[in-house]
A and B are shown apart, each in its own frame.
Chain A
Amino acid sequence: MILRLFQNMSDTNVVQKDIIQKAEISGTLLEDCSILDPIIATPLIAASDLKYINYAEIPDFGRYYYVTDIICRGKLFEVHMHIDVLNTYKDQIKPLSAIIARNESQYNLYLRDGLIQQYANPHIQIKQFPDGFDRYEYIFSVCG
């Protein structure tokens, strides 16, 4: 089974990962593992690549994976992985129509944003009206 190994520079919540391929090797899928969390044993990882490899693709599965762990067992490396659903299905989710709750560049600030915090000391502005009462007058009223 072909395993492409990458260096991933992107955060996990990035849909399209910024990855640099480091190696393409063959390995053996261990039994009793999930397609979502596969484990592939291979002797072919160069030691110099180990410090870079954190991402993988299994073309046969059509999926991208985070490399969660690499375990040495004798001369074999066990590459433990977990599916990256964002990168794997990016082409299928991008055409989907969705209700966007928050976005970095397109927004409406008149919607309440519960994430914004306030300091305890508010701004206090006092504005005087231009005019007021400025005189006192006697009023005397009589019958007739």
Chain B
Amino acid sequence: MSEIVTGIRLSSGTTINIPVFPYNTERAVIERMGGIVKVRRYDRSAASPTWVDVAGLSDNDLFELASLINSKRINQYLNDTNVNPPNVPIGTTDIWAICYIYYRENANGEYDLITNIHTNTPTSTLLYVPHLCTYGVDDPDDGSWETNHVAYQGINRRFGTYDTMVASMSTSTSVNDYCFNLTDNSITGDYLNSMTTIGSGSSTGIDWSARYEAYQEIDPDNNISFIETDPDDPYTYEASTFGGGDGRWGSFDPDSVEFTDIPALPTISAANAGFISIYNPTVNQLRALSAFLWSSAFDIDTFKKLFQDPMEAIIGLSVVPVRPPLSGSRNVMFGDVDTGVSMTAVASEYVEKNCGSVNLELLYGSFMDYDYTKIQIYLPYIGFRDLNPKDIMGDSINVTYHINVLDGGITAYISSSRKGVLYQFSGSCIANIPLTAINYSGAIQNAVSALGAASIAGVSGSPIMAMSAVNNVASLAANTNASIQRSGNVSGSAGLMGIQRPYIIIERPNISVPASYPNHNGNTTNVTMRIGSCSGFTVIDQVHLDNVICTDKERDELLRLLKEGVIL
């Protein structure tokens, strides 16, 4: 539903000379094609109702009709009973006719005109507000007309609330028009009734609320509608329009939180799949196994049925920072070769480690706690990460890890007591122990990738590591200079040497507020209030000095002083 509000200023004692829409027809369609407006009407009187072009309505007429003269001024007439004097001095002969034209888009992309223009013969000193006869069309093509309705929406704020207007809305074919007398703001009522009655039908089906909303969308500070017809204007075809964004808030709670819990550990495990066995050995058990491998007790022929090399049976030996869930001891088997070395088997490779919670208290209870506070968290095996104070300030923050002891995968969940999991970061917490020369080169590669972390954290790498990674170190150093970081990569073996407990670093602004600051500067308010309700130092952001009877210079000075701050 769209609306055009049109006002046409008239000379005293003349008949309003509005280019008349075909209101004595039953329906008209406004089509807008590339800035050229066409009007057609639906001639129901014809034997076969059809659309016919409206003759005698020039583009210029339409231009005049749709141009709004001064909606703000009209709005002031209609809505502000406190205007004294009104914009047009009392007793003048200025006459306004105001027309409200409602149209809505139909299924064909056309606009159905559903409101007629109402005209009157003015006399002096009265502002006539010829109300509209609105009739609705239930369906543009089935001819099922609604009954006549009197549209009060256009001035409902002047005469009462929307509800009261609707309640008093006439469903008869007569039209109640009112005159708005500028001399005393009185309503003389029933002044004119020159409406052409159109159609008949039930009294239901008009979406009054939609029309009311359409009325609300009128911007009182702007002329509402302007149909550009300049053929030389290259922007005519897609001239900008009103209506982008309705400014209505959604009906949901913008602070609603659907709490995200830390997920459960995976329920399937490689340890239970039967292809591999995972153990949590002690040092002595590892020594015993090593001794077995090098002893004559190891039957290499039996073993070679499955493997070329005993080491092929070993998937890995590593160090992790947590104890996995265990399932009892059993002898380590290489295929079907019993080593005779008993180790504690791992029931599942997944482990949860809860590091507990810390509270993030507000220091100032102001915007400073959010806008100017920085929070970093150190997570073992992951490093430093930035946290947004707006996410977590004032909450209790928990850190919980999920760890896969088989491949060293580690995920830290950072959750807020009020919002659930807000962050998750991943890293690696495994340090592989080389068992062969090949393993060793792989271990070096892993170490080099973590060298940056070790260097920045002040942990020296081995000479071999340093020599192998000269280029890598150089690039890492360059990166370190480029931005301030508290650490680099701390995963893997570097992580084992790093700090093992998470912590947060909260950098809060150290504000400098002079004594009696509010007395001199005030504090931020940003609310609408009566000026007289304020006390003390007050800075006005915006105010309309409409009712202050003073000179322009005084008004300017008054506005300047109020914006600079006054003491009330």
Which A residues contact B (CB, under 8 angstroms)?
A: 10-11, 13-16, 35-36, 83, 85-86, 88-89, 92-113, 115-119, 121-144
Contacts and interface: CB of A to CB of B under 8 A. Distances in A.
Nearest to A92: B548
Given A124-B506, A142-B315, A142-B332, A132 B380 contact: yes
B366 A110 contact: yes
| Those 10 A-B pairs whose CB atoms lie nearest each other, nearest first | A132-B501, A104-B536, A94-B532, A102-B522, A130-B356, A107-B523, A98-B543, A109-B366, A111-B524, A101-B541
Contacts of A100: 525-529, 531, 534, 538-541
A137 B429 CA distance: 11
Given A137-B323, A143-B313, 15 more contacts: A15-B566, A35-B551, A100-B527, A100-B534, A103-B535, A104-B536, A106-B534, A108-B525, A116-B511, A118-B512, A134-B500, A136-B319, A140-B314, A142-B334, A144-B335
A86 B566 contact: yes
B522 A96 contact: no
B545 A109 contact: no
A111 B524 CA distance: 6
A68 B17 CA distance: 58
B531 A109 contact: no
Given A93-B562, A103-B523, A131 B548 contact: no
B534 A124 contact: no
Contact of B530 (A96, A102, A134): A96
A88 B550 CA distance: 10
* Chain B facing A: main interface SS: mixed
B363 A93 contact: no
Nearest to B540: A98
B538 to A, nearest CB: 5
Contacts of B557: 83, 85
Nearest to B408: A139
B208 interface: no
Nearest to B274: A144
A142 to B, nearest CB: 5
Contact of B319 (A35, A115, A122, A138): A138
Contacts of A104: 518-519, 522-523, 535-538
A111 B509 contact: no
B182 to A, nearest CB: 23
Interface string B482-520: 000000000000001001111111111111110001110
A103 B525 contact: yes
Interface of B: 275-283, 286, 289, 312-324, 332-336, 343, 346, 353-358, 363-368, 370-372, 380, 399, 405-406, 429-430, 433, 496, 499-513, 517-519, 521-532, 534-545, 547-551, 553-554, 557-558, 561-568
B261 to A, nearest CB: 19
A144 to B, nearest CB: 5
A119 to B, nearest CB: 4
B323 A129 contact: no
Contacts of B368: 116
A124 B505 contact: yes
B286 A105 contact: no
Contacts of B357: 129-130
A135 B558 CA distance: 73
A98 B542 contact: yes
B551 to A, nearest CB: 7
A118 B507 CA distance: 13
Nearest to A14: B567
A131 B567 CA distance: 55
A128 B279 CA distance: 32
Contacts of B567: 10-11, 13-15
A56 to B, nearest CB: 16
Nearest to A140: B279
B446 to A, nearest CB: 15
A141 B527 contact: no
B365 A109 contact: yes
A139 B335 contact: no
A92 B554 CA distance: 13
A141 B537 contact: no
Contacts of B526: 99-101, 108, 111
B566 A118 contact: no
A107 B312 CA distance: 73
A97 B534 CA distance: 11
B431 to A, nearest CB: 9
Nearest to A83: B554
B509 A122 contact: yes
10 contacts: A11-B567, A83-B557, A86-B558, A100-B526, A100-B534, A113-B523, A124-B506, A125-B508, A133-B380, A143-B335
A121 B510 contact: yes
A95 B532 contact: yes
A36 B503 contact: no
B506 A125 contact: yes
B534 to A, nearest CB: 5
A108 B529 CA distance: 14
A89 B550 CA distance: 8
Contacts of B334: 142-144
Contacts of B380: 132-133
Contacts of B319: 136-139
Contacts of A112: 367, 371, 524
Contacts of B545: 93, 96
Nearest to B513: A116
Of A36, A117, A126, A139, chain B has the most CB atoms within 10 Å of the CB of: A139
Given A93-B548, A133-B322, A139-B317, A101 B500 contact: no
Contacts of A96: 530-531, 543-545, 547-548
Given A15-B567, A83-B554, A133-B380, A127 B524 contact: no
A129 B363 CA distance: 19
